[in-house]
Amino acid sequence: MNFFEHQRAARGTTLKLVFLFAAAVVALVAAIDAAAVITMVYLSEDYGQLDPSSVLALVIVVTAITLLVIAGGMLFKTLSLRQGGSAVAAAVGAVPVDPTTTDPQLRRFVNIVEEMSLASGVPAPRLFVMPSEPGINAFAAGFTPADAAIAVTGGALAQLNRDELQGVIGHEFSHILNGDMRLNIRLIGLLSGILLIGMIGLRVLQFGGRGSDSKGALPFVAFAFAMMVLGYIGVFFANVIKAAVARQREWLADASAVQFTRQTAGLEGALKKIGGIPTGSRLRNSRNATEVSHMLFGEGTRRSFASLFATHPPLADRIKALNPGFNPAEIAELQQQYAQHAPDGLAEDVAAGFAPAGTALGRPTPAPAQTPASAQHTSPEQVVARAGTFTPADLKYGAALHARLPDDVRMLATQATTAPAAIIALLLAPPTEGLQARQLATVVEHLGPTQAREAAALADQMRGLAPELRLPVVALALPQIATHPRAEQDALITVLDALAHADARVTMFEYCVTRLVWNYVLDTNDPSRRSRVGNGSLNDVRPVATTLLAALAAAGGADQVTANRSLDGALHRLYGDTARAENPRRLSWQQTLDGGWAALDALDPRAKQALVEAMVEAVLHDGTVTAAEAELLRAACSLMHVPLPALLG
């Protein structure tokens, strides 16, 4: 199942989930209506003379109130999490991790996540830690990769070695790439609405029945009791549904983590340590642990009715899936071993040669720069198969890119105060003919002199970066942009657009940078709406799709005849012909694309897959891939929320 099929499957899973919860709500409302009617009958002086219209009116009122309470609870919880991953992390008491930290455990965590981000083609998630949690656990939360957050426990950082932590983070990246995060947040909202019914009944029972011994008060107390019982029965069944969905997604995430790293030892070792240490994967101190239980790497709480409520497959079954020869007796041996000495992940890294003794940053020796797949050995179908995933070769390439970034550039890109300057510096012209001075004046006008000075100081170094390192700098800087107020984000977009147009000619790279930042800001400020799976048709976007394919065909720098052949090949793949849709307003290619990205992003997953294949056809048709083509292809896929690894060279 590829990325686009996962999107269709996720939409189907969501519809089934909504249906199941709707059925649970209907049953709950019917039961509360029945309790209300029974109460009315009890209060009536003459049971046989009840007015049917009065009964109907009561049912309508109680139904409306119950539905409003459930909807209100869902809406309140969903709105409280509308900022995505960071809001979920804050809800469980996790604290942000400084990407420039020098703490050995945190530094290793940051390096692993940034390398996976560069390998997979998604912006680096924001990182959090639950420092007071001794168990081994983690979760990914958010609506889109742009607002994603990954949180780990202090126990995971302390007790897992680099391979094991990488396996856990690979598991969480699977949730990001497979679209599980949006479903997980929806589950929190759905459960909150049903839970609110039981909570209201409990509060009425606690405060409404005090000192009320009269016969008249008894029915109201009984009704409140019924609401409480029915509400918690609804929560019981809702949790069963939640757990069943979560277990299925956990199997997929384990398999994906192995696919990403091409080794099972890391993930298997992490699971064994969970079974061996006294605290396991339980969250002891975090707020709202039960709410996020279905998001976690391992079971976060002890449960009664374990098989029904378990949000994860049994630990032994997960390990056996990775290693069929696993003997459960190993867990008992580890329990004895770890009862004497808790595992030390950093010490294991030093022993394995990941880092010299005394530093223990857990960063391996940088791999040599890997050359991504060449055009001659890549097809559109192969590219589609790689979307939303990455391979061990991509992971090595991501680690190599990360290692090649100058330390000062990476530090500036990953600090909130200097990340805008790092992006601005990529678009500054050489200090000739006064163009850079005019650009810097624009920066001063909108963002202030400090950002202008820092960008100017970085300009020469950024200009000297290898082409394949430029977009990685942007990818590392984007999460820091999200920490700024919306007004500053909009000012940065204005500045970047002005810098790109300063010489009256927008290059392909300038267009990619400005639109990636613009798209990221939109995603982070409205993640819920921006993460929806679309149902649009290719016929509805023919003019903008033709423009995009033409831009990709021209980005190769070949002569017009060759570019036209590439475009015709792409159009034939997408539409079965080579007819070119006209732009009635004769807009520039940039203007046409700017007006069409929303429609392209709203395509049905199958249509989006076909478009990506056509885009790759336009790039590969002439047998070569330029830096401009690779950058536009990855940027266009990102704008359509299709994560694409750096697989074209």
Query: In whole angstroms, what is the distance from residue 248 CA to residue 1 CA?
Result: 15
Q: What does the DSSP 8-state code read for residue 353?
A: T
Query: In whole angstroms, what is the distance from residue 99 CA to residue 107 CA?
Result: 8
Closest C-alpha among 525, 523, 508, 495 to residue 590:
508
φ/ψ of 531, rounded to 5, equals: -105, 10
Query: In whole angstroms, what is the distance from residue 63 CA to residue 58 CA?
Result: 8
H/E segment holding residue 640? none
Q: What is the 3-state secondary structure (H, E, C) of 131-148?
A: CCCCCCCEEEECCCHHHC
For residue 129, the SS3 value is strand
Q: Reply yes or no on whether 172 is catalytic.
A: yes
- Catalytic hit among 172, 299, 613, 629: 172
Query: In whole angstroms, what is the distance from residue 82 CA to residue 529 CA?
Result: 10
**Read out DSSP for 411-437?**
HHHTSTTTHHHHHHHHTPPPS-TTHHH
Q: Using CA of residue 393, residue 394, residue 400, residue 403, what is the dihedral sign?
A: negative
Q: With contact defined as beta carbons under 8 Å apart, do 220 and 208 qualify?
A: yes
Give me the count of residues in the chain. 649
Query: In whole angstroms, what is the distance from residue 428 CA to residue 498 CA?
Result: 11
**Read out DSSP for 248-264?**
HHHHHHHHHHHHHHS-S
Query: In whole angstroms, what is the distance from residue 166 CA to residue 22 CA?
Result: 39
Query: In whole angstroms, what is the distance from residue 556 CA to residue 53 CA?
Result: 75
For residue 483, the SS3 value is coil
Distances (CA, A) of 604 to 531, 540, 638: 13, 11, 16
Q: With contact defined as beta carbons under 8 Å apart, do 424 and 451 qualify?
A: yes
Give first-to-last CA distance, the chain, whole Å: 26
Q: With contact defined as beta carbons under 8 Å apart, do 416 and 284 qualify?
A: no
Query: In whole angstroms, what is the distance from residue 18 CA to residue 12 CA?
Result: 10
E strand segments, 531-620: none
Query: In whole angstroms, what is the distance from residue 209 CA to residue 563 CA?
Result: 80
Active site residues: 172
